[in-house]
């Protein structure tokens, strides 16, 4: 397992790289060029700028997250050819600096949905919250305003240049079924996966967040069956999954440890976080500790360990604690605590395995 940490770039993150360097066991930075609109090429010059910033602190840039896909590709419009060509060029440019994994998603319009970015928990901390009854009748524009009001940082998946066409986008998606979305994803993968293979890059799709239809939009990367279908669309080691325990964990029917075990050889990247589910369909994000939420983080880490997982893993969203002023879900303190919790499980598994082997040899 290679521990990494998400960082949104100089001037766009409350956390300096110097602080991340002080978290034990972190090898690399998960990064992106958040100022480049979806569909445009990431230039080598801009890529190298971030690479130099990251490597000065002793980190690698192996994993990139939020290489977002233009809506015309998801909609299957004729104009998708231009944007797929641009995506291919970005893959090739990223390969020049040694990128190994690209995390992306195929969610229409919104990359993720919450109704409250700072819902207070019992202990006084705050966290991202989803209120099911509120989302049922909310106007999409009202949702945009509630999510995008934080002007201090960019909000990946909620870019203004895309959301300005929100009404038009919803109109376009009215006729798009889940099966249509599957076909558009397959077309995209058939174009890009050979390029990724040639350049030594693994594409790792992120599950839909949350893993069900929101505001009538189709969603398809939601469960084990659909993950298998995705991996079979283009059967290649370069067509992989970002295992996200928080996204998949919203659905109690998803056995994430089982998913981790079955598809371990196709999971180059993992996001580990916990959520607390409520019977009415609401959920809130919690600390990473298993007993703090509804997701069995321990069993997921055990499944990865038993599979001899050697991919990249990062703590995902954390609470906002100790009065930290930060990007929603991406403070320093709770994610650092999350890393220590995940390392604690991993180290314990390693030690137990060694002791078991010694005992077997002694017999």
The residues that are catalytic are 206, 244, 271, 316-317, 330
The span from the CA of 242 to the CA of 61, in Å, is 17
The span from the CA of 3 to the CA of 339, in Å, is 8
Closest CA to 274 of 251, 260, 292: 292
Contact between 36 and 93 under an 8 Å Cβ cutoff? The reply is no
Q: Which helix (H) or strand (E) holds 272?
A: strand 269-272
345 CB contacts (<8 Å, ≥6 apart)? Answer: 297, 298, 301, 302
209 CB contacts (<8 Å, ≥6 apart)? Answer: 105, 107, 111, 112, 113, 244, 246, 247, 250
Contact between 68 and 157 under an 8 Å Cβ cutoff? The reply is yes
22 CB contacts (<8 Å, ≥6 apart)? Answer: none
> Which residue's structure tokens are 């104009």?
79
Residue 360, number of CB atoms within 10 A of its CB: 8
Give all strands of the β-sheet with 239-244 in edge-to-edge order.
26-30, 2-6, 312-315, 269-272, 239-244, 202-205, 101-104, 63-65
Question: From start to end of 7-93, where are the E strands?
Answer: 26-30, 63-65
What are φ and ψ of residue 130, in 5° steps?
-120, 120
Cα Rg for the chain, rounded, in angstroms?
Answer: 20
CB-based burial, 17-26: b 16+ in 10 Å, e otherwise: beebeebeeb
Which pair of structure tokens corresponds to residue 240? 């992989």
């Amino acid at each position: 397992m290679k521990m990494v940490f998400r960082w949104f770039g100089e001037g766009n993150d409350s956390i300096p790289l110097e602080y991340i360097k002080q978290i034990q066991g972190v090898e690399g930075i998960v990064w992106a060029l958040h100022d480049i609109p979806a569909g445009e090429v990431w230039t080598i010059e801009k890529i190298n700028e971030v690479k130099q910033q990251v490597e000065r602190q002793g980190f690698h840039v192996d994993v990139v997250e939020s290489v977002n896909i233009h809506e015309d590709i998801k909609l299957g419009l004729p104009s998708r050819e231009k944007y797929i060509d641009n995506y291919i060029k970005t893959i090739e440019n990223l390969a020049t600096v040694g990128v190994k994994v690209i995390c992306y998603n195929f969610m229409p319009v919104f990359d993720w949905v919450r109704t409250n970015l700072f819902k207070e928990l019992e202990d006084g901390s705050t966290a991202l919250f989803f209120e099911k009854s509120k989302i049922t009748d909310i106007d999409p524009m009202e949702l945009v305003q509630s999510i995008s009001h934080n002007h201090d940082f960019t909000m990946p998946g909620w870019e203004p240049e895309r959301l300005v066409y929100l009404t038009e986008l919803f109109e376009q998606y009215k006729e798009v079924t889940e099966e249509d979305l599957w076909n558009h994803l397959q077309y995209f993968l058939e174009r890009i996966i050979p390029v990724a293979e040639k350049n030594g890059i693994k594409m790792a799709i992120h599950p839909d967040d949350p893993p069900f239809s929101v505001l009538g939009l189709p969603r398809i990367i939601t469960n084990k069956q659909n993950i298998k279908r995705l991996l079979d669309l283009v059967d290649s080691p370069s067509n992989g999954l970002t295992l996200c325990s928080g996204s998949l964990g919203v659905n109690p029917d998803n056995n994430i440890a089982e998913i981790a075990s079955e598809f371990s050889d196709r999971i180059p990247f993992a996001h580990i976080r916990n959520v607390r589910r409520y019977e009415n369909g609401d959920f809130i994000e919690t600390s990473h500790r298993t007993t703090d939420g509804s997701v069995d983080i321990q069993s997921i880490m055990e499944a990865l360990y038993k599979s001899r997982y050697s991919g990249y893993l990062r703590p995902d969203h954390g609470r906002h604690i100790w009065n930290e002023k930060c990007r929603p879900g991406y403070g320093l303190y709770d994610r650092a605590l999350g890393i220590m919790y995940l390392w604690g499980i991993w180290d314990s598994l390693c030690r137990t395995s060694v002791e078991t082997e010694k005992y077997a040899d002694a017999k």
